[in-house]
Amino acid sequence: MGSEFAADAGAVVSSLIAYEREILPLVRGELDRWRLRASSIPDPLLRGAALSALQADRRNPEATAVFAILAPRSRRAETLRALAPLQIAIDYLDSISEERVPDPLADGLALHAAICDAVSPETKSGDYYIHHPQREDGGYLDALVAACQKAVARLPASERIVPLLRRAANRCGEGQSYTHAAAREGADELEAWASRHQSAPGYLWWELAAGACSSVATHALIAAAADPRTTADEAALIDAAYFPPIGALTVLLDDLIDLEDDLEAGEHNYLSYFANQNEAANRIGLLASRAKAAVADLRHARRHRAILAGVAGFYLSAPSADSGYARPIRGRLLESLDPTVRLIMVAMRLRRHG
């Protein structure tokens, strides 16, 4: 046990060093580049949404950039050029999908078709803004899609991975769309949609929905495409590890730290489906155990475990993770996952206060 912990701790430390030294400066450069592009969007509402997403949600591209550590070192910069515009697009679409429109589901599905297009080289599914009241973005969304497409096409295993990548991205886009619509129209359609994604037994429908609308499987598959040795079968195992368990865990923890704000704003929050905090803690602990088991047989298992520890540590280090509601959940996660989560928590707290 001691040697295994030491090896996992070493993987976490080396991943943190690679992230801080190699990856974070690159993703911040990408954020600066897209912020400049967003500032020229003609429509003031879309411009405000794009700039707000780049500022308020900058933690998302910075956090998902960690998937670049799964790629061969020589291809990490190339991988990041796909990861960053994809997550920036997701955050932008998340922001404009909160606007009140006559048909929020149709609007969301049309907008989020961009996510699937972004990982499908030379694909354009139609007018993303067809149901949206604002549309003059100066080519901003198309540029994000094209940048991701170009980067994905250059990855050596992309041809083998793209079919799975498209499925994961489509699942994410649909999940985002149904989730936003549920905030306005109730959860019936979200539940029906999630029930069609029963990929493994033992998941509650809202855990499937949460896992589906997460982008982590898409990012993990992009990183896998950067490795010329990745086969389609290996990519399927990666997708199964990230959907549902890691994706669901990510979304539920994100909702945990946003719980008070979401309740105050009347926004959808997946934690509301649990009967109480004890059920939430038990189920999230179970998801963490399943996630840990799912990555154990992957080729880069220690790097995947480091990412899983990073997901938990990133969210558990937030001040709101110390609320009365969150404490049982934090306790169960620390029991279910490796002790390396605590290393991540310390590192994240130092970064937040640094």
CA distance 197 to 212: 8
Predicted local confidence at residue 196, as pLDDT: 87
Say yes or no to pLDDT of 161 above 90.
yes
CA distance 310 to 316: 10
Mean pLDDT, to the nearest integer, of 182-190?
A: 93
Span of 14-23, 104-113, 265-274, 281-290 with lowest mean pLDDT: 14-23
Transcribe 246-259 into DSSP letters: IHHHHHHHHHHHTH
Question: What's the mean per-residue pLDDT of the chain?
Answer: 92
Predicted local confidence at residue 149, as pLDDT: 97
pLDDT tens digits, 69-87: 999 999 999 999 999 999 9
- The answer to whether 200 and 247 have CB atoms below 8 angstroms apart is no
Of all residues in the chain, the percent with pLDDT exceeding 90 is: 76
Of all residues in the chain, the percent with pLDDT exceeding 70 is: 96
Total Cβ atoms within 10 A of residue 227 = 20
Predicted local confidence at residue 57, as pLDDT: 67
Assessment of whether the complete model's pTM goes beyond 0.85: yes
CA distance 174 to 159: 23
pLDDT tens digits, 331-352: 999 999 988 888 888 877 877 6
Beta-carbon contacts of 299 under 8 Å, excluding residues fewer than 6 positions away, are 234
CB burial of residue 314 (10 Å; 0-12, 13-18, 19+): buried
Mean pLDDT, to the nearest integer, of 18-38?
A: 93
Beta-carbon contacts of 43 under 8 Å, excluding residues fewer than 6 positions away, are 134, 135, 136, 137
Q: Torsion angle, CA of 71/297/251/215, rounded to 10 degrees?
A: 40
Say yes or no to pLDDT of 354 above 60.
no
pLDDT tens digits, 201-210: 899 999 999 9
Say yes or no to pLDDT of 273 above 80.
yes
Predicted local confidence at residue 14, as pLDDT: 81
- The answer to whether 54 and 88 have CB atoms below 8 angstroms apart is yes
Say yes or no to pLDDT of 353 above 90.
no
